[in-house]
Structure formats: C-alpha cells, structure tokens
C-alpha cells in the first residue's frame, strides 16, 4: 500500500496502531508546517528545528503508550511544539509532554495571531485577486503546491507536467506577486 498517496484520514489510524511507515508519512507531510508555526511565533530557527524533532518523538512515544484515541494533525503537533517552546522559554527546559500537561490539548493554535498580524481579510482578498490575475499555468502551480502542506515539489511538478526547476521558478514569481499585493495593503492601512 502506497501510504504517500493516502489522505491523512487513512494514514492516521495506521499511525495510531503503531505503523512506523505511517508515522514517517505524517511527519514528512506536517513537519514544515510545525516549523513555520514556530518561526512565525518568533522562535529562533535552531531552537525551532530542535523542538520540531522533539515534538514528533514525544507524539510517537505517547502513541505507543496509548495516550491518543485519534490524531488530528498538524494541530496536535503544533500544540505540542508550542508548548515545548513555551516551557523552554519559561523554565529553560522543554521536557514536558501532553501526558504530563494535558492542557496542551486545548492550547491555542498560533494561527489566529498570525492571521491577525498579517493575513487580514483585506490583505488576503487583495492577494486572492492578484492570484486570479496570474496566468492559468502559474495559478495551477501555486494551487498544486499549496493545496496541502508537505507535497514534494517533484510530485507537484509531475502533476502540472513541468520540470521541478520550472515549477520553483513559477512559484517564486507568483509568491512575489501575492506578497507584494499583501504588502501594498499593509502600507495603505
């Protein structure tokens, strides 16, 4: 069975049952999102990378101990990572898990604060409008890559039918246009 081709809803139960390969797939899909969330919160990049690693180790350990009845990713990983970052900042140690601190399960996802700071409705609307003005193939590249976190560029390129290099170049061009659209609204507000 090709786990890479399965959606999270199918892979997560396998990971819950202890399937190592399923865990690998989930980590590969979501580790960048977790890292980005930490970075967007202002966590230093070296610490953020360590915390991301610790996060997955702890989640897998807790799964083996039967602590989870379901895996909602990347939310669960983000909350664990955020908690580790908070604990490290507070006590100089991140040696805390969901098992020891069940409130992690209800910790805030950092997403709202990011949106509040950057992705306001007006900013996003402007960026969406800009996206609609992009050439169809460029839009397809963007939408394929950002459809879900963790999709490899090689896979996205194959879907669109272009080379990885071309995909990345197009992606950077579209991203620059969208970013400029958002920053224009930042400046006007």
Partner 1 sequence: MSHPDDSTIERFVMGMLDDDADFVAHVSGCDECSRKLQREAEVELAMFEIRARASASRVAEARAARAPAPRARRAWRVLGPALAFAAAATVIAWVGHRRMRPAPSDATAAVRVVTCPDGPRQLECIAEANRSGARLEYPKDSPIAALGREPGLTVHVRPRSSDGFVPEIDARFRQITSDFEACARQAIVWQNAPLRTGEVLLSVTIEPDGRTHDWRPAIVVSQGEPPAYVEQPAPAFDIDMELARCLRRAVEAVPFGRRDRAVRVSLSAMYVWRE
Q: Which residues bind partner 1 (CB under 8 A)?
A: 32-33, 36-37, 39-42, 44-47, 49, 72, 75, 106-109, 111-112, 114-125, 127-128, 131-132, 142-143, 146-147, 149, 153, 168, 171-172, 175, 178-179, 182, 189
Whether the CB-CB separation of 84 and 50 falls below 8 Å is answered with no
CB-wise, 6 or 149, nearer to partner 1? 149
Instruction: Return d(Cα 108, Cα 7) in angstroms, integer.
Output: 25
CB-wise, 61 or 125, nearer to partner 1? 125
Compute the least distance from the CB of residue 65 to partner 1, in Å.
22
Sign of CA dihedral 125, 129, 134, 140: positive
CB-wise, 58 or 126, nearer to partner 1? 126
Whether the CB-CB separation of 51 and 38 falls below 8 Å is answered with yes
The DSSP string of 30-44 is HHHHHHHHHHHTT--
Compute the least distance from the CB of residue 80 to partner 1, in Å.
15
Does an H or E element contain 62, and which? helix 45-64
Compute the least distance from the CB of residue 152 to partner 1, in Å.
9
CB-wise, 44 or 67, nearer to partner 1? 44
């Amino acid at each position: 069975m090709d786990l890479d081709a399965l959606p999270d809803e199918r892979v997560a139960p396998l990971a819950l049952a202890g399937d190592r390969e399923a865990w690998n797939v989930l980590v590969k899909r979501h580790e960048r999102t977790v890292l980005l969330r930490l970075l967007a919160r202002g966590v230093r990049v070296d610490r953020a990378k360590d915390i991301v690693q610790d996060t997955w180790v702890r989640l897998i350990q807790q799964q083996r101990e039967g602590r989870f009845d379901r895996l909602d990713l990347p939310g669960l990983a983000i909350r664990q990572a955020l908690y580790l970052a908070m604990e490290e900042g507070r006590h100089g140690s991140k040696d805390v898990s969901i098992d020891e601190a069940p409130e992690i399960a209800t910790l805030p996802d950092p997403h709202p604060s990011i949106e509040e700071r950057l992705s306001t409705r007006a900013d996003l609307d402007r960026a969406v409008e800009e996206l609609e003005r992009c050439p169809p193939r460029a839009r397809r590249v963007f939408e394929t890559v950002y459809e879900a976190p963790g999709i490899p560029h090689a896979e996205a390129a194959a879907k669109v039918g272009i080379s990885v290099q071309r995909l990345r170049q197009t992606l950077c061009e579209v991203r620059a246009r969208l970013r400029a659209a958002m920053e224009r609204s930042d400046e006007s507000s």
